[in-house]
Amino acid sequence: MMADTAASPRRSGGRLASIDAMRGLVMLLMTLDHVRWDFTAVAQRLWRDASVLPANPLELETTTPTFFLMRWVTHLCAPTFVFLAGASVNFWMLRHGRELSVGRYLLTRGAMIVGINMILGLHAPFSSTRVLVLGVLWAIGCSMLLLALVVRLPRALSWCLALLLVAGHDAVRGYIPEGEVASVLWRLAFVRTYFEVPGVGAVYALYTVLPWFGLMWLGYLCGGVFRMEVERRRRLLPALGAGCLALFALLRLSGGYGDPTSFMAQSTAWRTMASFVNVGKYPPTLQFTLLTLGVMWLLLAWFERGRRLELLCVPGRAPLAYYVLHIICIRVLAAVLALMPEPIRGASFSALGVVAFSVLMYAALYPVCAWIGLWRAGGYRMSGGAPA
């Protein structure tokens, strides 16, 4: 392993504190997004068009700067989550040393994460209109299963194929093969889709598999960046961020490849800026990926310099547990608040209420994550540790 210096952001458990802080920031933003989404769904049922929470905060004609920013900043979550999951697989393989071992690990963990999505993603399971939502855990789990199949490929070929998936899937956006089975499989792979299963319910594939798999694959291939000597890593991270953002700006301003929506001047300055960064997440377009990864690299560079909070690191050490718990807690919270008297409901299902309950949810789950982190730390010390 590459040598580290005293200024390294590593902590004693063998983990990389900058990655833990990055994950913790993602957890906080993800909480904001999911509280906003569940609160919006409840508010729409209570007040319909009179709700102050817009159904689509990215719709420039109907949103406000506050709601647009509240939704847009959470775009950082999924790409960072998926990319760093791939990097963590690289760290795991470094510790265990064999592609065969990491293949078994990926198959087991990928199947478990897909199973968790099947439980959390089943909306209204006892109603006649059951809908299974294939969300971010579906994409992560399937990506791990696919990554198990490619870890033995030559590195040069892996880079080419991963970049082709991330940068090339926009070129096949409008293509749908003939045949029912082929069409469904293609849409699950590349296109956000909704389809009914007769006698069972419906499936809403929000997160398509292959573009996100390409992103995890890139994370796996970039794992070596985090094993570089500290000063070299500190020089490289901001360069990677600036490069991604520069390429994003070039594609966006040229009106070229990488996103189905074009940047257009709007009636106000904030709407013009919003239009510039309002790129597609479902599936993650090339421009979306460049923008979010560019921000991720810059934040990692900032955290590498010691600009991080332990409040971020603690949940970042238990991301899957936090994800599952916060989804359950938010759904229960939204249902309970819907039964409260009008003044409480009105204050809760508002922009200020969304922010306040997001912070409270993060704080409430913090002790659980701290306990999980302490429990896991013993295992890391006994196994020699590796950043994850």
Other C-beta atoms lying within 10 Å of the C-beta of residue 215: 27
Cα gap 354→357, rounded to integer Å: 5
Q: Are 193 and 187 spatial neighbours (Cβ–Cβ below 8 Å)?
A: yes
- Residue 93: per-residue pLDDT: 83
Q: Are 284 and 209 spatial neighbours (Cβ–Cβ below 8 Å)?
A: no
Q: Which two tokens stand for residue 11?
A: 């902590």
Question: What is the strand order of the sheet 193-197 is part of?
Answer: 122-123, 131-134, 201-205, 193-197
Q: Average pLDDT over the chain, rounded to whole? A: 89
For the chain, the C-alpha Rg in angstroms (whole number) is 21
pLDDT at 126 over 70: no
pLDDT, tens only, 27-74: 999 999 999 999 999 999 999 888 999 999 999 999 999 999 999 999
Cα gap 303→21, rounded to integer Å: 7
- Residue 123: per-residue pLDDT: 67
- Residue 14: per-residue pLDDT: 54
Q: Dihedral sign for Cα 376, 382, 387, 388, please.
A: negative
Other C-beta atoms lying within 10 Å of the C-beta of residue 324: 14
Cα gap 238→241, rounded to integer Å: 5
